[in-house]
Amino acid sequence: MNRGLRLREALTGGRGAHWHPTDALVRGAALGVGLVVSGGLLHRVELVLFGAPLLISTLVALATAVGGTPRVRVRGLPRTGEVGAAKSVVEVDPGVGAEVLALRLPVDRPGPGPVHLLPASLREVEVVLRRDAWGEGVDLRPDHLVAGPDALLVHGPVTAAESGRVILPPVHQLPAGLLPARARGLVGAHRAWRPGDSAELRDIRAFQPGDRLRRVDWRVSLRAGNLHVREHHAEADADVVLALDTRFDVGREVGEWSVATHETTTRPDGTLDLAVRAAASLAAGYLRQGDRVGLVDLGRPQLGVRAGAGRRQLLRLRNQLVVCARAAGWAQRPVLRAEQVPHGALVVVLSPFLDAAVAELAVHAARRGNVVLAVDVLPEGLVPDEETPWGAAVVRLLALEHEVRLEAMRRHGVAVVTWDARAAAISGVLREAARPGRRR
């Protein structure tokens, strides 16, 4: 028990990364020699009996060969991961003559964690790491101290390097809904409004020079007396641009809007957290259909990702969403340049719409000919600040201004949906927004 206390004191007090005697060895040697010498001079046997064990244990510790450089290495910890539990292994090489190892490991949550006393004969320690929030974070920091016999000679303490992972935003399996057709290409998962080679019938018309004979509808031709052909819709891919508003990160408690968060990347269940989750889920849905998806950070345009397709694009987008959340902060105006949006692309603006600038940005994108979907991530049921007498009035004013911005976007042809409505509302709104000849 006393040896464990000495190890914990040494690990928190610390010298360097080399073998050195502890204060217990110095005290044991001085006290042992003093008691033995005093007992011999005073002819007191009890002093010799008290001092001899201290002196003998000190001499045994000094006689035991200790050496080498203890090594502690983390193995099996990936750079990225998903929300949930993951396993890692801490490899230990204690050196020569070591008996006890003091190792700092996490228990219930990631981070440095408490100090664990382990036998030096242990070569591997399996650690279960659990992260319930996406973003960057430290999973473990294996600070260690190795002790010789009776913890009288120790190596360390050594402050190890922090080992962390990037937990990617979770993806909810949502159908992406109907999408507008891309202006170029005739291969894809969505119906275009021009004729093509899909399996969906568009029209039956009279035969024209250049039509293929395999398209002739013989039943209609026999009834009409002249040749008629079947005309099908074209199939096209869609370009999707996810415009993420990282300038705001607020929750339901209005009184906490000005309070910074330190433990997590974003405010739990805040607007930025919901926007990132929605962006990851929508990107996964569109990419699953074979479409091209890009990302634009409205607060910091240099952090955007060009449109691409495939599984690697989804991984790239999820990693970049973490980068955007890490760099999130107030910007004077949101930026969405015309060159960042391909012609005919669907623009999905994810924002709490707390100012008029982002609403104007969505309207300008719609005027350039793009179908724009505004996803409102402001939590419902804002809670007023109870410490001020005008808290309820502030919440009421915020709600009215927010509704005015949403209605203004609707009147200018922007499809508006609340993220809580999820796939059903998104599909219906996009169906109406992508209808040809729709008034704007």
3-class DSSP assignment, residue 133: coil
Contact predicate 345/182, CB 8 Å: yes
Q: What is the pLDDT of residues 423-433, one digit of tens each?
A: 455 666 666 65
3-state helix, strand, coil in the chain (%, to 5): 35, 30, 35
Whether 150 and 227 share a structural domain? no
pLDDT of residue 320: 96
Same domain as 112, residue 152? yes
- What pLDDT does 194 receive? 43
Q: How confident is the model over 259-283, as a mean pLDDT?
A: 84
In the chain, % of residues over pLDDT 90:
31
Instruction: Provide mean pLDDT across the span 284-296.
Output: 89
Q: Which structural domain, as residue segments, surrounds residue 205?
A: 201-232
Look at residues 167, 187, 217 and tell me which one is the last residue of a structural domain.
167
User: Residue 14, SS3?
Assistant: coil
Boundary (domain end) residue, out of 167, 187, 210: 167
Residue 383 domain flag: yes
Q: Are residues 226 and 266 in the same domain?
A: no
Is residue 412 a contact partner of residue 371, using CB atoms and an 8 Å limit?
Answer: no
What does pLDDT average to over the chain? Answer: 81
270: tokens are 């805040």
CA atoms within 13 A on the CB side of 265: 26
Tell me, yes or no, whether 399 and 256 share the same domain.
yes
CA–CA dist 53, 51 (Å, integer): 6
pLDDT in tens, 346-380: 899 999 999 999 999 999 999 988 889 999 999 88
Q: Is the pLDDT of residue 308 over 70?
A: yes
Q: What digits encode the pLDDT tens for the residues 169-203?
A: 999 877 545 454 444 444 444 444 445 454 556 67
CB 116 within 8 A of CB 102: yes
- Cβ neighbourhood burial of 207 (10 Å; 0-12, 13-18, 19+): middle
Sheet holding 371-376, edge to edge: 305-308, 292-297, 239-244, 346-351, 371-376, 415-418
pLDDT digits (tens, 9 = 90+) for 51-70: 888 788 777 777 777 778 88
Q: Residues 277, 355: one domain?
A: yes
Same domain, 41 and 133: no
Residues in the chain: 440
Residue 167 confidence (pLDDT): 92
Instruction: Give the closest residue to 69 by CA, choosing from 33, 106, 94.
Output: 94
Clarify whether residues 223 and 254 are in a common domain.
Answer: no
Interval 6-38: pLDDT, tens: 544 544 444 556 788 887 777 778 887 888 888
pLDDT exceeds cutoff 70 at 299: yes
pLDDT value, residue 191: 45
Q: What does pTM read for this prediction?
A: 0.74
Same domain, 124 and 13: no
| pLDDT, average across residues 203-216 | 80
DSSP state of 385: P
Phi, psi of 230 (to 5 degrees): -90, 135
Shared domain for 288 and 389, answered yes or no, is yes
Domain-embedded: residue 314: yes
CA atoms within 13 A on the CB side of 52: 8
Long-range residue pairs from 68-76, CB within 8 A, at least 24 positions apart, any chain = 68/93, 68/95, 68/96, 69/17, 69/95, 69/155, 70/94, 70/95, 70/98, 70/144, 70/146, 70/155, 70/156, 70/158, 72/103, 72/142, 72/144, 72/158, 72/160, 74/140, 74/142, 74/163
pLDDT attached to residue 288 = 85
Do both 339 and 263 map to the same domain? yes
Residue 293 counted as domain residue: yes
Q: Is the pLDDT of residue 336 over 60?
A: yes
Evaluate whether residue 102 is within a structural domain: yes
Q: Let me know if residue 185 belongs to a domain.
A: no
pLDDT in tens, 99-150: 889 999 887 777 778 889 999 888 999 988 888 889 988 888 999 999 888 7
Domain membership of residue 186 (yes or no) is no
Residue 80 lies in a domain: yes
Between 217 and 440, the more confident residue is: 217
How far is it, in rounded angstroms, from Cα 180 to Cα 199?
18
For 427, list phi and psi in degrees, rounded to 5: -60, -45
What is the number of domains present in the chain? 4
Give the pLDDT confidence score for residue 11 in this predicted structure: 47
At 189 the pLDDT is 46
pLDDT at 326 over 70: yes
84 and 125 both lie in a single domain = yes
Looking at 146, 167, 188, the residue that finishes a domain is 167
Kindly state whether residues 277 and 412 are assigned to the same domain.
yes
Does residue 271 lie in a domain region? yes
In this structure, what CATH number is given to the domain that contains residue 163? 2.60.40
* Residue appearing with tokens 């105006």: 333
Whether the bond into 379 is cis, omega within 30 of 0: no
